Amino acid sequence: MNFTELLGMSFQTIQTEQIRLRKLKRDDAPSLYNYYSNENIYRYLDWNGPESIERSIEVIHIWNEGFEKGWIIRFAIADKMSDEVIGTIFLSEFEGKRAEIGYELSEKYWHKGIMSEAMNEVLAIGFNQLGLVRIQAIVAEENIASRKLLTKFNFKEEGYLRQYECHSVTGECRDMLIYSLLRKG
């Protein structure tokens, strides 16, 4: 999938009531590192996040390069007033008219409707601008907050994936659930 053709030559910036979705910058590395340092953020992920500010810079570069190469669109979720990065949301794993959505948010900003605002915008990009037919999410069964968010957006639970995701640091493999949302129409 060629994002530069579908989305224009530059990375989109989108503003909502509380947040700005934008391209990650090198200067975002300290914020990224800080919120990922909280175990509650990476508890249900397949990695522990960047282990230093230097590694955060590398990860930002990889994600931005991934956009240029067409395998991921990863938005910074930035506080609208301060422009501080408080999370990310992405579409990746593109195959035909299908993609996977994923996200994380600083614990300080939980339960404020921020991820709902981000999800609404990214789903619109996926279906309306990229022409996707299916967006799916793979989540840990224990991740109740993420499951509630997906259900709020009418994602349907489709199945149980046994020993599906293995953690890059601990090597522990866990069972996951798969959810999907289909384009209306």
What gap in Å lies between CA 151 and CA 98, rounded to an integer?
19
pTM: 0.91
Is 179 contained in some domain?
no
- CATH code (residue 125): 3.40.630.30
- Residue-wise pLDDT tens digits, 133-150: 999 999 998 899 999 999
In a domain, 153, yes or no: no
In a domain, 89, yes or no: yes
d(CA 143, CA 42): 11
Domain membership of residue 105 (yes or no) is yes
pLDDT tens for each residue of 29-78: 999 999 988 888 877 776 678 889 999 999 999 999 999 888 899 999 99
- Is residue 160, in this structure, part of any structural domain at all? no
pLDDT for residue 6 is more than 80: no
Residue 9 has pLDDT above 60, yes or no: no
**CB-count burial class (<10 Å; 0-12, 13-18, 19+) for 153:** middle
C-alpha to C-alpha distance for 138 and 82, rounded to whole angstroms: 31
Give a yes or no: residue 161 inside a domain.
Answer: no
Q: Which domain holds residue 42?
A: 3-135
pLDDT one-digit tens code per residue, 67-104: 988 889 999 999 999 999 999 999 998 888 999 999 99
CA distance 72 to 110: 24
**Token pair of 151 as six digits:** 């259900």
Per-residue confidence (pLDDT) for residue 56, from 0 to 100? 93
Q: How many domains does the chain have?
A: 1
